Amino acid sequence: MTHSSGIPALDHVVVNVHGELDESVARYERLGFLVTERGHHSLGSSNNLAVFQNTYLELLGYLPGRNELRPGLWVHPPGLSGLVFKNAEPGKLYDELVSRGLPVLEPLEFSRPVDLPTGPEDAAFTVVRIDGDAVQNGRTFFCCHHTPELVWRPEWQKHPNGATDIVGFVIATADPDRAVSPFRAMFENSPILPAEGGFQMQAGTARIEFLTPETVEARFHGAALTSPNGTDRMVAISLHTGTPRFLQDLLTRNEVPRIELPDGSTVIEHRQAANVAVHFVA
C-alpha cells in the first residue's frame, strides 16, 4: 500500500472504451481473460474487470444515454487512460500531496453493487485524483478499497491465458523528464531510475516506464499506438503468464494475430485490445 512513505504500488489500470463495453469485453475474452459481470458505479459509469493476484484491469465505459453523467472521463482518447495506485489513508494522502504542491482533487467516495451467490453487496472506494494536465491523455489517481474482498475474489482470478498479474505499464512521451516529474513529487521516497529511452520506477508488482515513442516502437515492433500529435499517451501493459504454451494455443485457436518478440515474449497489437498493446511475459 502507499502510505506516508511514498512507496508506490500499482492497484489497477483503466482502459477507456467509451460506449463500446460489449465489444471490448468480447475482445479481451478472445485474448483469454476471464472478465467479470458488468458493474455500475454510483457516479454513472460502468465497468468490467479482469482481476489478477494483486492488480486488475478495468474496462471503463458508459451505457447508452449515460455518457453525460461523467463527461470528464470521456475527453481522453479510447485506450489505456488510467494509472491507479494503492492507498489505505486517502485523507492523509490528500494532505501530503497538497503540501508537495501537486494539483490534487479532494477525496471522492463512490460504490458499485456486486452480485454474489450469497446476494448483492456494495463495493466501496475512495479515490484521490491528480488534477489538470499533469498527466496527458489520461488520469493518475490513488484508490482506497474499503471492501477488497469484493474485487479480489478467487473465482475471478483464474484466466485461460494464464495471466497472473500486471508487471509493466508504458507511457510514450517525447519528453520523459517532463512526464516523470509529477511522479517524482508523488513518490518522493521511491527511486525513479534511468532506463533506455527514458525512466522507470517500480510500483509493487509492476514496472512503470516513461519512454520515447521511438523506444516504444522498437520494443513492441509497432504493436503500440502512440499519440499522433506528439502528446504523451499510455500505450502498453505487460502481464505475467504462468502458462506460455496454453497462451499460444489459445491465441491460435481464437485466431488472434500476435507478434513474437526476440526475447520470447508475445505482444498483441493495439487494434486487437481496445487500443492497448498487451504484452505477455513468462
Question: What is the CATH classification number for the domain harbouring 142?
Answer: 3.10.180.10
The answer, yes or no, to whether residue 244 has pLDDT greater than 60, is yes
- Give ∠ CA 218-220-221 in degrees, rounded to 5: 65
Instruction: Please give the average per-residue pLDDT across 34-57, as a whole number.
Output: 97
User: Do residues 93 and 140 both lie within one domain?
Assistant: yes
Residue that is last in its domain, among 141, 156, 171:
156
Question: Do 108 and 167 sit in the same domain of this protein?
Answer: no
- Answer yes or no: do 105 and 175 share one domain: no
**175-213 pLDDT per residue, tens:** 999 999 999 999 998 999 999 999 999 999 999 999 999
Mark which of 156, 174, 202 sits at the end of a domain.
156
* Residues with Cβ within 8 Å of residue 280, at least 6 apart in sequence: 161, 163, 238, 239, 240, 241, 244, 247, 265, 266, 267, 268
What was the pLDDT predicted at 30? Answer: 99
Residues 78 and 96 in one domain: yes
Residue 171 and residue 199 in one domain:
yes
Phi-psi region of 276 (alpha: psi -120 to 50; beta: other; left: phi over 0): beta
Sorting pLDDT into bands at 50, 70 and 90, what band is 133? confident
**Is 243 inside a domain boundary?**
yes
Does the pLDDT value for residue 132 go beyond 60? yes
Q: Is residue 45 situated within a structural domain?
A: yes
Instruction: Please say which residue of 156, 176, 201 terminates a domain.
Output: 156
Does residue 188 share a domain with residue 132?
Answer: no
Per-residue pLDDT at 3: 43
For residue 240, being part of any structural domain is answered with yes
Q: What count of Cα atoms within 13 Å lies in the side-chain half-sphere of residue 184? A: 11
If pLDDT is split at 50, 70 and 90, which confidence band does 34 have?
very high
Planar angle of CA 201, 137, 17, nearest 5 degrees: 105
Give how far the C-alpha of residue 203 lies from the chain's centroid of Cα atoms, to the nearest Å. 12
- Both 37 and 167 in one domain: the answer is no
Q: What total number of domains does the chain contain?
A: 2
Measured between alpha carbons, how far is 202 from 229 in angstroms, rounded to an integer?
28
Domain membership flag for residue 5 = no
- Predicted confidence (pLDDT) per residue in 3-25, tens digit: 444 789 999 999 999 999 999 99
Burial of 38 (0-12, 13-18, 19+ CB in 10 A): middle
Residues 210 and 76 in one domain: no
**Residue 1 included in any domain:** no
Domain check: are 116 and 24 in the same one?
yes
Domain containing 95 equals 10-156
Asked if 1 contacts 87 with a C-beta cutoff of 8 angstroms, the reply is yes
Mean pLDDT, range 239-249, rounded to an integer: 96
Residue 170: count of CB within 10 angstroms of its CB: 27
Residues 24 and 102 reside in one and the same domain: yes
Percent of the chain whose pLDDT exceeds 70: 98
Q: Is residue 3 part of a domain?
A: no
- Is there a single domain that holds both residue 148 and residue 244? no
Beta-sheet strand order (sheet of 206-211)? 193-195, 198-203, 206-211, 163-172, 233-241, 277-281, 266-268, 259-260
Tell me what the pLDDT averaged over the chain comes to.
95
Residue 2 lies in a domain: no
In a domain, residue 4? The reply is no
**Do 25 and 151 reside in the same domain of the chain?**
yes
What tens digit of pLDDT does each residue of 64-114 get? 988 888 888 899 999 999 999 999 999 999 999 999 999 999 999 999 999
